[in-house]
């Protein structure tokens, strides 16, 4: 299958984002933030909910933020983390499914279920 330059950019972006999600702990962090909604969670509450704390949580948040999936903002003395890339997650799903079954042979007339 030949890819044009646009496909390659999409492929590179998708690979980068999937790489950011390539850890059980990062997936747990993102899921916790998605469940929390747009108000997000403080870094402490996020750590409690997903079972990742300290420098490990900081490391994972940095990777997720660089991928554009989450944000961190200071609110008073707290750091609030939030999932922001709902459209990006949808786009990743669409990336995987957009060509679903395009290489499959159409069913033979006798194979079609009419009933």
Summarised one tens digit per residue, pLDDT across range 85-110 is: 888 878 888 888 888 888 887 766 65
Does pTM top 0.75 for this prediction? no
Q: Name, in order, each residue with C-beta under 8 angstroms of 49's C-beta and a sequence gap of 6 or more.
A: 32, 41
Mean pLDDT of 65-69: 91
Cβ atoms of 104 and 57 within 8 Å: the answer is no
Nearest to 14 by CA among 103, 105, 114, 99: 99
Whether the Cβ atoms of residue 49 and residue 83 lie closer than 8 Å to each other = no
pLDDT digits (tens, 9 = 90+) for 42-57: 999 999 999 998 999 9
**Overall fold of domain 24-87:** Arc Repressor Mutant, subunit A (1.10.10)
Q: CA angle, corner 1, sides to 105 and 112, nearest 5?
A: 10
Average pLDDT (72-86) is: 90
Helical H segments across 21-82, by residue range: 24-36, 43-50, 54-66
What does the pLDDT read at residue 111?
A: 57
């Amino acid at each position: 299958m030949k890819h044009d330059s646009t496909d390659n950019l999409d492929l590179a972006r998708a690979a980068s984002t999937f790489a950011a999600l390539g850890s059980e702990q990062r997936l747990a962090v993102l899921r916790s933030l998605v469940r929390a909604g747009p108000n997000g969670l403080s870094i402490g509450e996020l750590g409690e909910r997903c079972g990742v704390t300290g420098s490990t949580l900081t490391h994972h948040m940095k990777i997720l933020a660089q991928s554009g999936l989450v944000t961190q903002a200071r609110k008073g003395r707290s750091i609030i983390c939030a999932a922001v890339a709902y459209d990006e997650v949808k786009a990743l799903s669409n990336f995987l499914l957009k060509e679903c079954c395009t290489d499959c042979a159409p069913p033979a007339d006798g194979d079609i279920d009419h009933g």
